[in-house]
């Protein structure tokens, strides 16, 4: 019985450690100053931050200067509450934190009873005043809603100001076969750095390729830092593209999908139609599923606010044919009649092979027909008796 309990304890520890490792890279920070109506700092104010998706709660108190910092927050929506004796309770809901944010939430307390509250609406657009970095975030909704030819998530990085893309029109979701040729602010594309949950997603030992190409439906968001960013991201002189994977919440969620392209839905190009050919075969299917929620083991995490999981799997299958269009000789040309070439704006002249190209027997056959080596065939027509000889030569 003791061994069984120990095994269960170790499993819980391993799961908690694994999920904590993943969550560590999904970080944001909230900073601020607590003041009263006169603008004076208020120390010792109890500040509570609640993640509305997971129910996780963080507590902190303002220092002697009325300042507070809450670091290592997961991305998502938060409610902020501040309480202090002699002041009304301050509440601000719907604070959105994206990856790498350093959001400033200054709290102005009003004199009153704590049972009274002052609700502040979240600011739709916040000015980044606590960091000099230049960056842009592609949110999870944008990742899912924007259509991409090939469903390659790195194409979304081209939406960031300062990006110049050399990615081809079709960029499939293959780690080794796709392109990430994006220049930011004039820097070389191979100087960019790609991170997945804090780990480098770039194989420098094989000519610069991705190690993994995650499913779009597994991405919570990603931030592209283009200049003036922290030394924490000092791996390259170009941009740093940092992805964050989704995480589970206190409620179970899941989904399934399939995206496909098929030649039955495609039109043939002009030349294929003109020749009576068929559309090239195309079978491109991207399908998968994901599921996430709280980890519940017996009485552990019964409130669903401690440990979470998220699982994603996706398959990609592709069959792609091609159509080759080339001009072929007419029936007259196959019989040696190239007289139509003489009517071109730049006539094409068919000449008899030079004497050095012919052996004595072949030379005798040409001269017997009144043809001069190195000179044009009369009328640009090759005698039928010489066609087989010219084919062999």
Q: Are residues 33 and 103 in the same domain?
A: yes
From 216, 237, 218, 235, select the one nearest 226 (Cα to Cα).
Answer: 237
- Predicted pLDDT of residue 311: 95
The verdict on residue 195 lying in a domain is yes
Domain match, 167 and 110 both:
no
Q: Tokens in use for 312?
A: 């994603």
Please give the tally of structural domains in the chain: 4
pLDDT tens for 86-117 read 999 999 998 999 888 888 999 999 998 877 77
In a domain, 129, yes or no: no
CA distances to 12, 69, 89, 164, 178 from 82, in Å: 34, 13, 6, 45, 49
pLDDT given for residue 52 in this prediction: 93
264/366 same-domain check = no
CA distance 100 to 104: 13
Q: In this structure, is residue 326 part of a structural domain?
A: no
pLDDT at 252: 94
Q: Which of 274, 292, 320 is the last residue of a domain?
A: 320
Q: Containing H/E element for 332?
A: helix 331-334
The answer to whether residue 205 sits within a structural domain is: yes
Tell me the C-alpha distance between 223 and 243, whole Å. Answer: 7
Same domain, 300 and 210: no
Residue 189 domain boundaries: 134-245
Residues 294 and 208 in one domain: no
Domain limit, last residue, from 295, 320, 345: 320
pLDDT the model gives residue 26: 62
pLDDT value of residue 91: 93
User: 115 and 65 in one domain?
Assistant: yes
Same domain for 73 and 162, yes or no, is no
Q: What is the pLDDT along the chain (393 residues), one digit of tens a residue?
A: 445 455 555 555 555 444 444 444 468 899 999 999 899 999 999 999 999 999 999 999 999 999 999 998 989 999 999 999 999 999 999 899 988 888 899 999 999 887 777 777 756 556 666 677 788 888 888 888 888 888 888 888 888 888 998 888 888 778 877 888 889 998 888 888 888 888 888 777 665 677 888 898 999 988 888 888 877 777 788 888 888 999 899 999 999 999 999 999 988 888 888 878 888 899 999 999 999 999 998 889 888 988 999 999 999 999 988 877 777 888 888 888 999 998 888 888 989 888 888 888 888 888 888 888 889 999 989 988 888 777 665
pLDDT digits (tens, 9 = 90+) for 276-330: 888 889 999 999 999 999 999 888 988 898 899 999 999 999 998 887 777 788 8
As given in the structure block, the two tokens for residue 138 are 């592609």
Looking at residue 70, which CATH number applies to its domain?
A: 2.60.40.1120
Pair 241, 282 in one domain: no
Residues in Cβ contact with 322 at an 8 Å cutoff, skipping those fewer than 6 apart: 280
pLDDT of residue 33: 95
Residues 148 and 202 grouped into a single domain: yes
Q: Are residues 362 and 312 part of one domain?
A: no
- Reduced to 3 states (helix: H, G, I; strand: E, B; else coil), residue 33 is strand
- Regarding whether 213 and 174 lie in a shared domain, the answer is yes
Last residue of a domain, one of 83, 99, 121: 121
CATH code for the domain of 232: 2.170.130.10
The confidence score (pLDDT) of residue 23 equals 42
The tokens describing 50, both together, are: 């609640």
Report whether 73 contacts 52 (CB < 8 A): no
Choose among 230, 226, 227, 190: nearest CA to 210: 190
Model pLDDT, residue 152? 84
DSSP assigned state of 297: B
Same domain for 65 and 158, yes or no, is: no
């Amino acid at each position: 019985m003791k061994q069984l309990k120990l095994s269960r304890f170790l499993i819980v520890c391993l799961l908690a450690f694994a999920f904590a490792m993943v969550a560590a890279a999904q970080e944001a920070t909230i900073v601020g100053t607590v003041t009263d109506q006169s603008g004076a700092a208020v120390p010792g104010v109890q500040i509570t931050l609640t993640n509305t998706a997971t129910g996780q709660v963080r507590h902190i108190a303002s220092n002697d200067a009325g300042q507070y910092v809450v670091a290592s927050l997961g991305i998502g929506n938060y409610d902020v509450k501040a309480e202090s004796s002699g002041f009304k309770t301050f509440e601000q809901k719907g604070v959105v934190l994206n990856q790498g944010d350093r959001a400033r939430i200054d709290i102005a307390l009003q004199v009153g009873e704590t049972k009274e509250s002052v609700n502040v609406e979240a600011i739709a657009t916040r000015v980044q005043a606590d960091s000099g970095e230049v960056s842009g975030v592609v949110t999870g909704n944008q990742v899912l809603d924007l259509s991409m030819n090939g469903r390659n998530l790195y194409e979304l990085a081209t939406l960031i100001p300062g990006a110049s893309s050399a990615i081809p029109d079709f960029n499939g979701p293959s780690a080794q076969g796709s392109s990430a040729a994006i220049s930011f602010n004039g820097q070389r594309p191979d100087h960019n750095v790609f991170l997945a949950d804090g780990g480098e997603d770039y194989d420098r030992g094989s000519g610069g390729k991705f190690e993994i190409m995650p499913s779009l439906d597994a991405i919570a968001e990603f931030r592209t830092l283009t200049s003036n960013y922290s030394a924490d991201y000092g791996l390259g002189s170009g941009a740093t593209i940092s992805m964050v994977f989704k995480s589970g919440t206190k409620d179970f969620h899941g989904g399934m999908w399939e995206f496909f392209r098929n030649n039955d839905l495609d039109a043939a190009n002009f030349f294929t139609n003109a020749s009576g050919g068929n559309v090239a075969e195309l079978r491109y299917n991207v399908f998968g599923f994901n599921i996430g929620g709280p980890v519940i083991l017996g009485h552990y995490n019964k409130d669903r606010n401690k440990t979470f999981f998220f699982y994603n799997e996706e398959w990609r299958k592709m069959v792609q044919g091609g159509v080759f269009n080339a001009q072929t000789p007419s029936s007259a040309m196959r019989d040696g009649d190239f007289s139509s070439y003489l009517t071109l704006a730049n006539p094409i002249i068919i000449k008899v092979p030079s004497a050095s190209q012919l052996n004595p027997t072949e030379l005798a056959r040409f001269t017997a027909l009144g043809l001069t080596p190195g000179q044009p065939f009369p009328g640009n027509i090759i005698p039928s008796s010489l066609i087989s000889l010219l084919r062999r030569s």
